Structure 1
């Protein structure tokens, strides 16, 4: 893989190559990507989607939207730092093609901003709830009508693949979705493979999948333009990651490790003194002890340690990325940037506490249980209304449901797979609050 191709400004529908040196410096193409994402309705919906605590009523707990903004900020720093060194190593990118340090930052920032855009309500439990509706619930009735790859898309419903769908999906009057640059789409796709085979290797890019069967050709077009290395394993084709996807992943890892932990402290789920001690261990090489001791409030001490911790992890991620640049470009780097980290012990300790005290807390578990029930009922309601087993037996109730969901336009000419994926994608687009309201309405509890 080579950087000139990987930094492609091409967008869906382009017939001519977009050259970096011909870009208007007042509003670069990669910056346009960021703007299009932040003004999209799918991004706005993240303000009422779970990051840590479902349906939290406190004002300091992160939502998917605030988390995404913070990941984007960290991603921009990672991209710029990497870009500076890459341009020093490959000066022709700047002197001949016109690329600048900030281009790398803009690509990573945009991809990081969108990294959770396809996630369902109620966090990762929402993904599991949708998938398990088809693997263990009433959705199993559709299995015999689907190809193995189509059924796998549904039974292992993946927010990353749904995000790629949102960013690129053709809709009436809107071809190519948000029409982002292919460089940003490549950096967004942490798992450049289809749902089958499921976790075929230890390569981190195979951990999940990045596109549904409906977007297979779209992703292959993006991969070809970017020159992503093709990996052929018998009849299966996947791709090496876009190098900047490693930085998007690192930005997310940094934020959820540190900031979810901070949320746990603010919620009182993690003891303050105990938690601060663990953060101090992470930043012991950079902490200014006298400054830290002069801070009188827990909030100020926590803010200081958080900033140091993020900076510490940014520095290490960049060092690892640059040290392995050649292997990454060759598609031979198969780990996250924090695997074998010098701070591995400290990171594991923080994540272990977060799992025990936050993710497995009674408040989180009870709300995730409710989320499972709600999403299962919504999927049952939509599939029975739009895909009845016997159309002649369609009830007045199901007709009312169809008319109450104008965004679900499903035609009789569509395949069952396409219709089911459309229903799943719509359900995933709902906010936590709207899901609760819809559940209550369909149960007759709300007028």
Structure 2
């Protein structure tokens, strides 16, 4: 559930949405929005979008997925709004965790859970303790599994797998490792041991620092305090160099900027024209492609824009590219 709000093309997709509203055609809406509403758009955040997805009411479905308060508290890694930006050494200030459209829901969650306020005037809070464990689980998985994917795709040489995992895990059974016939099975074996090691380490750090976590004084992620921090950074650096900056990934991200900007523009324009009573036949055709739950009558421009952002953010890379080709014949 943690990454449910990530748009197509991952973090690059977040930046593409922000770029459309900051420097693209979406800039025209700036003066019609509040500062916080506009900041939500130019600094589009997958974590906030995830909170929107799991809590937003739909027609006949009040409260979204109706998750427990504890589950929602553990979900919110950054319990604050997009403005004001107050950079600090505390991890809760790294990003933000809810859009203005979910502000009341957020305040209900933090107050019901008794989460400690960091600055009530700016709706900034310290994390629910379990959010540290959720974050650690996410960090462990993307660090190890992205590294594994890079090896299986041939972007990272398999020799790196044993070299770097040996630094991370001391009890690798080399006989078992070499007995596995297929590369995919060998990397899966190393991945399972590494994840188990790091998960155990994260739990121990959590328990050792429980009081500081409960008081809001634990300023870093659990893995930033673990004894394997250097080894984790080595693995991440290899993945950045060999996977995230590979030509295949970069080319897809470049495509994503064009795809997301065009889709945002055509759908937002059509929905706004419908609201203003200036809908063209082309707009009507475009809106026939938009699911009904993203066409709810909204007086507020921000809410209409967020409907389209939510629709596009819910697409996979492939679906977004195919839809773009259908509309723009490219």
TM-score (norm 2): 0.95
Residue 396 of structure 1 pairs with residue 270 of structure 2: no
Superposed CA offset, 1:147-188 (max 9, x none): 100000111111111111111111111100010100000001
Q: 2:65 aligns with which of 170, 178, 190?
A: 178
Question: 1:91-130 maps to which residues of 2 (within 5 A)?
Answer: 114-130=1-17
Q: CA RMSD, aligned part only?
A: 1.8
Superposed CA offset, 1:230-266 (max 9, x none): 1127x42211101011000000111111110000000
Superposition deviation, residue 297 in structure 1: 4.3
Q: 1:341 aligns with which of 211, 226, 238?
A: 226
What's the counterpart of residue 149 of structure 1? 36
CA distance in 1, matches of 2:17, 2:162: 37
Residue 238 of structure 1 pairs with residue 124 of structure 2: yes
Confirm or deny: 8 A CA contact 2:20 2:27 kept in the other structure: yes
CA distance in 1, matches of 2:303, 2:189: 49
What's the counterpart of residue 295 of structure 2? 409
Question: 1:253-268 maps to which residues of 2 (within 5 A)?
Answer: 253-268=139-154
CA distance in 2, matches of 1:130, 1:253: 24
Superposition deviation, residue 392 in structure 1: 6.3
Residue 276 of structure 1 pairs with residue 162 of structure 2: yes
Give the 3-state SS of the residue equivalent to 2:222 in structure 1. coil
What's the counterpart of residue 134 of structure 2? 248
What's the counterpart of residue 442 of structure 1? 327
Change (3 A) 1:405 1:361: same
Q: Single out whichever of 393-402 and 286-295 deviates more from structure 2.
A: 286-295
What's the counterpart of residue 136 of structure 1? 23
Q: Which has the higher helix share?
A: 2
CA distance in 1, matches of 2:185, 2:226: 28
Q: 1:225 aligns with which of 102, 105, 112?
A: 112
What's the counterpart of residue 383 of structure 1? 268
Aligned length: 329
Confirm or deny: 8 A CA contact 2:161 2:187 kept in the other structure: no
Confirm or deny: 8 A CA contact 2:80 2:125 kept in the other structure: yes
Unaligned runs of 5+ in 2: none
Unaligned runs of 5+ in 1: 1-113
Superposed CA offset, 1:69-103 (max 9, x none): xxxxxxxxxxxxxxxxxxxxxxxxxxxxxxxxxxx
Superposition deviation, residue 289 in structure 1: 4.1
What's the counterpart of residue 197 of structure 1? 84
CA distance in 2, matches of 1:394, 1:273: 59
Confirm or deny: 8 A CA contact 1:374 1:435 kept in the other structure: yes
Confirm or deny: 8 A CA contact 2:6 2:50 kept in the other structure: yes
Confirm or deny: 8 A CA contact 2:55 2:65 kept in the other structure: yes
Q: Single out whichever of 393-402 and 261-270 deviates more from structure 2.
A: 393-402
Superposition deviation, residue 304 in structure 1: 2.3
Moved >4 Å (runs of 4+): 293-297, 389-393
Give the 3-state SS of the residue equivalent to 1:254 in structure 2. helix
Q: 2:191 aligns with which of 300, 306, 329?
A: 306
Superposition deviation, residue 202 in structure 1: 1.9
TM-score (norm 1): 0.71
CA distance in 2, matches of 1:388, 1:348: 49
Superposition deviation, residue 393 in structure 1: 5.1
